[in-house]
Amino acid sequence: MIQKSDDVIVRTVARSLMPFILIYGLYVVMHGHYSPGGGFQGGVILAAGFVLLTVTQGIERTRQHMSQKTACVISSVGLLIYAGIGALCLILGGRYLDYGRLSQLLQVDQPTARSLGILGVEIGVALGVMAVMCIIFFSIFAADETE
């Protein structure tokens, strides 16, 4: 059973740290094609923010921001973005995830199109990973609760 932490210092610091964790996770996602990081790492950082919120503020407070249902929807959206970009390349006549083909659609040159395509896929992966990590955590918590 995970309860709200009774230490006011831990609770307050974790609470005010949460937006910074999220923005750091987004930074890791968005700069995945320049520096170490990417969709998987960024998604896990984002999910870690929600785990921190759960263990300090309790499950009820976390559900206001991320419920099980929202997490399910977000994970599906993430997969849709990933598969959608891949399929788009396929439709435009290239191979699956052949980002160069996107240059026709986006009206930019090939390298920029590849960069943007990778960014889109990273965002999709990050959303999926974050949501699935949250679902796993919530499920473990819920199994704990029913005992």
Partner 1 sequence: MEVTLLIEATENAFRILEEARSHAAGIMDTTIELMAEEHRIIEEKKVRAIFTGARRRRARFQNFAGTACILFVFWVLLSGHFDLFHLTLGGLCAAFVAYFFHDLLFVNVRVGDIRTVVWRFIRYIPWLLGQILIANMHVAALVLRPKMPIRPRIITFKTKLETDISRVTLANSITLTPGTVTIDIREGEFYVHALSHLVAEELYGGEMEDRVAHIFMEGDHLYVQDVLDASRIYETLGV
Q: Footprint of partner 1 on this chain (CB under 8 A)?
A: 7-9, 11-13, 15-16, 18-20, 22-24, 26-27, 30-31, 34, 65
How far apart are alpha carbons 109 and 133 in whole angstroms? 36
Nearer to partner 1, 20 or 96 (CB): 20
Nearer to partner 1, 2 or 30 (CB): 30
Place of tokens 């609470």: 15
Closest distance to partner 1 from the beta carbon of 30 (Å)? 5
Closest distance to partner 1 from the beta carbon of 96 (Å)? 26
Structure tokens at 49: 């923010």
How far apart are alpha carbons 42 and 81 in whole angstroms? 16
How far apart are alpha carbons 12 and 24 in whole angstroms? 19
How far apart are alpha carbons 130 and 53 in whole angstroms? 14
Nearer to partner 1, 31 or 94 (CB): 31
Closest distance to partner 1 from the beta carbon of 84 (Å)? 20
